[in-house]
Structure 1
Amino acid sequence: MYMTAREQKLIKYLLHQNRYVKVGEIADYIEVSTRTVHRELKAVKSVLEAYGLQLDKQPGKGLKLVGPSRDKQRLLHDLSNDSHVEYTSDERKLLILCAMLESGEPIKLYTIANDLQVTAATISHDLDELENWIAPFGLSLIRKRGYGIELRGPEDAKRKIVGNLMADKLDVQQFLETIEMNIKGRNQTSEKIFGVVSRGKLLKAEKVLSQAKEQHGLSLSDSAYIALVVHLTFAVERIQLGEVINMNEEELAELKHTKEFELALTIAKSLEEVFHVKIPDAEAGYITMHLRSANRSYKTDYRAEDIELDTALRTKRLIDFISQKMGVNLNDNQSLYEGLIAHLEPAIIRIKEKMLIHNPLKEQIKKDYFLLYMAIEEGVERFFPDTYFPDEEIAFIVLHFGSVLEMNKGEININALVICSSGIGSSKMLASRLKKELPEIASFDISSLMELKTKDTAAYDIIVSTVQIPYEGIDYVIVSPLLDEEDVKQVKHQLTRKIPLILQKRRAEQKKTAPFPDMLAVAEKISHYANAIRHIVSHFTVEVVKTAESHVQTVERVCLLLEEQGLIRDAGQMAEGLLSREAQGGLGIPGTSFALFHLKNEAANIPLFKAVDLTKPYDIKAMDGSSIKMKRMLIMLAPDDIPPEGSELLSCISSSIIESDDSLAAYGTGDAELLYRRLNMLFHTFIRDKKW
């Protein structure tokens, strides 16, 4: 059996689909035109017939591969073991790149041509394109007659480009199959994935990260998790080859102040024990960058003091802009705001560090949500002018807005679990579409494939997935992430089939008495909220402080005042902490004349919020890197051991500062009486709307 890589990809895609798929969907998946798909379908017809399979074509529905299940499995097995592959141009470039990295010395052109079974002219053309491919990463090729081909450039650039390419090629299902096959003892651990990292080392690195994830409550999307496992594995292999990575001292010093660096050191120590290598601080720095650039969950990973107010302000302005463009008020949608913050902060870090993200739905999102896509493209260009968002990132942002817009269109009443490997945004999109098409569905939980094993699947009435689930005993429906008509029919059919079981379960649940909330726990929470409100409101004042000769001295003078008032224990320690926090990024609110100095530190006695007016304004760095003339300092401090309820209230103040132009004006110039009233109203609304 001899087929091109594209033909193999087409057949594997059809084998994995348990539904009718349209030609356009296949074209998007294998990244070709619909005309090419029709041509490839004709080319593979004889192969399918040889295995007793055929394509069933239905007008309006698409096509589906039909035939005995055992013959499908036989074909899939043969495809997986077929060594006669004609590589695509991109595949050849990746293999050439990996060969140069593994060799560490020049490789002869004819050797590569012989290995890939193509002409030297073809390889020469591939190398021309490869040079353009690697240039943005600061890498170059040395090509000399009689010398060979060699990859030149810094080690961190080599790590970055291979990590990006492998994470893009290694999908969630393939990754999970590697893990599952190892558990079942069917893995060839010496085999290399894409010629770079061994499966055995990948499995060990995955185990290290899995343990860190469990012990530290780390929440990562599937794609971010895989990218980090690949990075760790490749880093270990490069260290074992004697390739050491370097990092700018200032950049490393900044990373050491982040909360992710401590976790990176823990992961590095575990890698040292498992692989018997020495992991330098620079490697921990790059692990930190991966953790900071990963998509996470807002609820589990973001606290008041961690959110950059500049990003929050820009996010709110983006939401307002899209609201006006789409004619729908989204400004009060807290879920949208939280989801965007959880995506945008790591996205900005990814873009800054040239860490690519793969979005398999990009082209389909562009087509299905063209107007929304264009509006968001204009919005991010306007409100994030210093950051160039690639199409993949914009498409993910579209999913966040799209899910909320879809939710406005329907009501609901059955418990569903939505599984998607493309991140929170696409899962939300699928859930929203399901809500629209199936009003009887009342609630959704969203899970990635990796989180699925921790879920009680029996607790859900229906499970809908965008990918094949590699675990046995789970009854589910597989659909497209953007849910076409055929998908809706499949879900409705599944619900109809399960209605008797669902009704039986509901009757059993009705017989059970709903448990009362734990009033002791509720009372504890109320006590924490009350204490925090009492401290913040009773100690709020607008102070006037004489501007010192330098910024450092001014901050120290403010901290001395707080120490004299008994609000903090050590003015020197607090000033040092605030200045260190400021060094990580400006604290000035862009477009205003005030800054928010916020810190959680053991020197704070209580949670507090104060305004300090300076006698003489001076320039400081703003959160967006610009400069503002600071007239007022807002001081927000909390003890290290502040309960979550206290952090929640301080977060409430932070959000209120940037919620509108009126809020910015009030916090920037308002007197003590005005701000005292705002705090009272803010906390009153918070407690009134709180669900216990």
Structure 2
Amino acid sequence: MFLTQRQKRILQLMLENPTGVSIKQIEENLKISRRTVYREFGDLKQNNFAIENQKGKYFLAGDTQALQKVKEAVQQSHSQNVISVAKREKVIAAKLLLSTEPCKVIQFALDLNVSEATIQSDLNTVEKSLDRYGITLVRKKGVGLLIAAPEKIRRQVLVDLLVNQINQYDFFKYLHNEIDSQDLFLTMIDKELLLQANECLHESVFKQIKLDTDQKEIEIILTVAIALKRSSAGCKLSFLQPSTDSLKYQGYVYQFLALFSKRSQLEVDQNDVTYLANKLLNSDYHNTYLTYDEHELAVAAKVKEFVQHISEEVHWDFQKNPDFMTKVTKHIIGLVQHKVSLLPDTPIEILQGLSQKFGQLYAAIQKYWQLFFPDNQLTSSELQLILLYFANEYTSQSNNRNLSALVICENGIGTSAILGAKLKREFTEIKQVKTSRVSTLNQLDLSNYNLIFSTLKLKGFPRDYLLVSPLLLDDELQKIRDYLKKYEQKYPHLSEQSSFNQQEVTHSVEKLSKISISALFSSELVNGIKVQLLEYNSSDLIAVVQECLAHLDPTLIRKQLPVAKNLLKRVQMAPVGIPNSQIALLHTRSPEITRCSFTMFDLDNEISLQSMDHNTIQVKRILLMLAPDNLSTPEQQVLSTISSMIIMSSQNLDLFTNGSQKEIQEAIANLILQDLKETLLNNSGEKA
């Protein structure tokens, strides 16, 4: 049960006066208005007790257990733990943005357990922060604090603030009634409203769009809940222009509203429908390419050529997967339009290992970046981060010759079946054919298909496709033969290792020595891998680093301070969060470290960190890799192999995020054994 200081004082009055208290008594005791008293009564109704009125006297009602909980809650000296200044300022900003009436300084002071002078100081910082978004903080003497801003901007800033502060894991547990949260941000919106919005969205909208992250789902739920709350309070949007191709999303919004109106009173206008439809369009991962503005479209066209040339150079079809194209396009748009800060031009070990493993692919990326984006010079680390996108796609997709084709038709029946059968009969390379209507395309994974044929034009479609007639005329058969021939020339069938890896040729004696060192070192390192829980950890990364070091084997580090400084220097140099994951990798070398180690810490409390691709992620596991200052080449190669393995695929990211100690040890051992076998085979081949 979460109660503010003011609510506790109201309940205390009622507990002290079991026959009831009047509104006037509450006003005089708490120095608040009648309107505020009624608002607090409304908020208190969400708990498992009732406030009843008999002849103007208000008293508590409920079962014995519920009333006992009220007494325990009231007896607590604070309504929540002491929070940081930065968090307190964000709470104030969020409450101001959400409120539909003036807020009082004394109200903030009571709710946050600080003095009015402290709140006044906080407000100066809040005012500057809001001003960056064109939002004005208005202070009216005798009235209170107000926000002056266009409604659309007000809602968007509020949603962004809440999304960045709310823990994703706690959010979904809260919605599923698995926890009673005291989080100030999570409980800021009525839980009943959140529950109803979430249920109706899942029954309507979420079945018809694809959201690529949990954060996107949380953002949609909050956007809808806040829109309903603000609109019902009479806070209207100015005229909004519907986005291009947003018509079907308006349909999704109407489906949602029809469901929601059956459960609760609803007041929205056309501008709210347009606002929500535009949000859904922007969030639908299948249709992200439709949301680019004019300038972004120009960059997106260059990215497409950039990827095409790399694909042809390394003979691997990177254009096959629209999800990959969307991710890499968004990332490059951010770089070209200077929306993000570049990674520093200093070595980042995890990315360096990747560029060594995929030398030919990295060279192609460097070559064609200069060709297509000559005015945007990138650091080596930033280019290696782009390589990460390509390497992940390469390791997760197969380039086999059993070609599969997707046939897109208007209705998906009749002529489409004829077309599919004819394709398989005329072209033996095509082993599988899938037919689909345009309306069901968003339910398909386009990366499963090498070739796409369509009987109608597809405006804005993210993949290359061949336009054909439903009956496949003779001249079209030749056109398809030419299409297949070009495809096979561009992307010939390659061995699993492909030509991305280049083996270093050395003398056999040197190689044998390196193999022996690697085997012994690897065995010791793998056996020493640990996964352990970091209980009650801080939300601050610097404090977490110190806590991790304090929990290590005391024989591993001679002096902690120099090692901690090295790690903090690495944290300040560039983001340590791994893209598209919930893990962060920290690594350093130091003379104070006695041996190599790899330890993973599961965090009791997730922390928000920036990832290498400039997004914010919720980190639940810290990977800590430590090594002495002087390492042999084989030892460096083993550590580099492990670093690269972490980010090599979504499966590996999941392993290092959720895997047990034994599972991770087995996976790393297996990879190292494969590398050793390949080295032995190469030696054998050279002797022969």
Q: TM-score range by the shorter chain?
A: 0.3 to 0.5
Q: Name the TM-score, length of structure 1 as normaliser.
A: 0.40
Q: Name the TM-score, length of structure 2 as normaliser.
A: 0.40
